[in-house]
Amino acid sequence: MGFSENAITVLKSRYLKKNERGEIIETPDEMLKRVSKHIAQLEKDFDYWFEKFYDLMASLKFLPNTPTLINAGNPLGQLSACFVLPVGDSMEEIFEAVKQTAIIHKTGGGTGFSFSRLRPKGEVVQSTKGVASGPVSFMKVFDCATESVKQGGVRRGANMGILRVDHPDILEFIHCKEQENAITNFNISVAITDDFLEKLKNDEEYELINPHTKKVANKLKASFVWDEIANNAWKNGEPGLVFIDRINKLHTLKGVEIEATNPCGEQPLLPYESCNLGSINLSKFVKNSSIDWEDLKECVHTAVRFLDNVIDVNSYPIEQIKTETLKNRKIGLGIMGFADMLVDLNIAYNSKEGVKLASDVMSFIQKESHIASSNLANERGCFPAYENSIFKDQNIPMRNATTTTIAPTGTISMIADCSSGIEPYFTLAYYKQVLDGKKLKYVNERLLDRLQSSGINVDDFLEELIANGGRLKGLGLPKSIEDLSKIFVTSMDMDYTAHIDMQAAFQNYTDNAVSKTINMPNSATVDDVKKAYFYAIEKGLKGLTVYRDGSRSVQVLVSESKQEKLQAIKRGRVLRGFTEKLKTSRGSLYVTVNTMGGKPVEVFANIGKSGGDISALSEAIGRLISIALQNGVDVEKIVNTLINITGAQPIWNEGRLIKSVPDAIAQVLKDHFLDKKVEKNYEECPECGGVLEEVEGCAVCKNCGYSRCS
């Protein structure tokens, strides 16, 4: 059927049907037939549409969201990816929402909330004469409930928490995830209003409105709040921004207000609506170095019908959700494999041609999806809320209030063996850890094909590529392949404007919104984050997620006036210490640490079997650490700086992974002198320990298929 080995692994782990003993009792082909049969069950010509839906998925031209692949034709029957639930300002309404959240997570869905209706922290509650605890405290209740509910046996729940920028508790909300172990099951975003942006432009104060009394509770300088948002996003990627007034102005339904989105922000929804999503694999539509538009058109029309059927055959977890979903019949057809398409057409992602291709492709999909929905309306009738829509004003029959969304494709892009969503490549090559501790080289297949035809020594080149972080940029390529660096670009090879330009190109032709991460290098500043925000506003985005590489474990640099004065340590004539031997890919490493008063003050690092540069660099690292320690630098700062630096050949040593010589030295210092766990400079996959990549507004593990949000 064309499934790759990696796809088979993901399917076995997460998608294929299992018996009570956890044994797989379904093949990938049987899975697709199960899904096709379930989705086609209402069709008058069942056999025809069963084959059409099956062929569409089997060709890997289109895949629906994960809950549909898992639950279609199974007893659970819940096919929607995510939902928005209202949170009212009473104890009864709040805990009703908690209960509904648990029910949804149990069926495999994610949830989004606006906490903007809740009265601010400290306000007196007249019925009890107590004081309100505020939105953030109740977010923690939802977070605990999520942690306790296993999502359909496949994943834990993902949530989006949103608070309006004019809520009195906005500062507490902005800072609520500063600690990385806080409210871990939530992404958070600030709902930015047009009024706030106007006050920001004029450097004025704006009003904070108590949602309970509707009165002004306080005023804040807009620039101060803007700085707080940017500072926290710089630290750890949150909060994101949702331009809520823009979303409502562009909404296809009139007289109703959207206040929240799904967990990754690409699906703004009314209370109790669900998102029913699927993605077209663009890499399948490049033939003879051009796009097969007719094939793409047929795919769009079949996919729209597929997703419209999902709404009718779905088993909804809550009756209100069924009512609202059937009323508006929103679907979200998106894409994946865009980076692959660009490479196949020899177009750079960060180029004007790349942005133009995005506009051309998405405008085509948007137009054809609307035509397909209109055709379905003529066949099946318009969505019930049609009379209250912009389509009624335009006299265009429509089956669905929305048809397009650019959603995260996490694991389904792994099944389709294509690039994720509209993201550029995150890396071109890396070592993939497997369960028995062995390492396997992973390299982008398209790059590998071109390397193999270039006449260079591919194995040696891949070692250099992996050592360079999987990026061609900066490698000093041989002339025979130097042009590849212009086409095979990664997310770190471009600045924020290129990322935003691409998101805007897709947003211009998408009914709902776009899930994308604006990746920034670790060296990016808070001012860079703010520049990205303003550029996103200029380009008309509905929302934005900024992630600075490695920021989850890096603290903000303090100003010089607040830095601790370092106290130099005078070395004694005689020091006592210890020597630890570790195995590295370069040979045995001997780390000697001498101490004074139980604290390390001197480090020597010598490596066996390997002379020359490796020995010299090991000795140099030891000398630099010694100078730092003797001048008062805290050992924890040194460990945090060195730990998890990854070399070309990580190796297992007595049950722990030694990633490089500096990583080994850091592990010795950590084991002997730090009582608390040292944070990694990357986020670790909770299932396999691999590296989580920040793409599509979410964290995804390409090692095992884990996704925090999909």
Task: Say whether 266 is catalytic.
Answer: yes
State the catalytic residue, choosing from 266, 324, 423, 694: 266
Q: 3-class secondary structure for 300-346? A: HHHHHHHHHHHHHHCCCCCHHHHHHHHHHCCCEEEEECHHHHHHHCC
CB 280 within 8 A of CB 299: yes
Task: State which amino acid sits at residue 624.
Answer: L
State the catalytic residue, choosing from 65, 262, 276, 328: 262
Please give the Cα distance from 18 to 24 (Å, whole number): 4
Cα–chain center distance at 397 = 35
b/e code 148-187 from CB counts within 10 Å (16+ = b): ebebbeebbbbbbbbbbbbbbbbbbbbbbbeeeeebebbb
Please give the Cα distance from 209 to 119 (Å, whole number): 10
Please give the Cα distance from 451 to 449 (Å, whole number): 6
Tell me how many helices (H) and strands (E) the chain has: 24, 29
DSSP assignment, residue 707? B
Kindly state the helix (H) or strand (E) to which residue 431 belongs, with its residue range.
Answer: strand 429-433
Contacts of 482 (CB under 8 A, 6+ apart): none
3-state secondary structure of 267: coil
Report the half-sphere exposure of 360 (CA within 13 A, side-chain side). Answer: 15
- β-pairing, 240-243 vs 543-544, is antiparallel
Per-residue CA distances from 543 to 175, 261, 264, 394, 436 (Å): 19, 10, 10, 27, 41
Phi, psi of 694 (to 5 degrees): -90, 95
3-state secondary structure of 669: helix
DSSP assignment, residue 552? G
Task: Say whether 264 is catalytic.
Answer: yes
Task: Say whether 202 is catalytic.
Answer: no
DSSP assignment, residue 126? T
Report the half-sphere exposure of 640 (CA within 13 A, side-chain side). Answer: 15
Cα–chain center distance at 346 = 27
Helices 526-539 and 496-507, interaxial angle, to 10°?
Answer: 20
Tokens of 593: 């640490």
Please confirm whether the linkage preceding 397 is cis (ω < 30° from 0). no
Per-residue CA distances from 538 to 188, 237, 244, 328, 544 (Å): 23, 21, 15, 30, 12
State the catalytic residue, choosing from 264, 299, 698, 709: 264
DSSP-assigned states of every residue in 179-198: STTSSTTEEEEEEE-HHHHH
Tokens of 490: 């990664």
Catalytic positions: 262, 264, 266
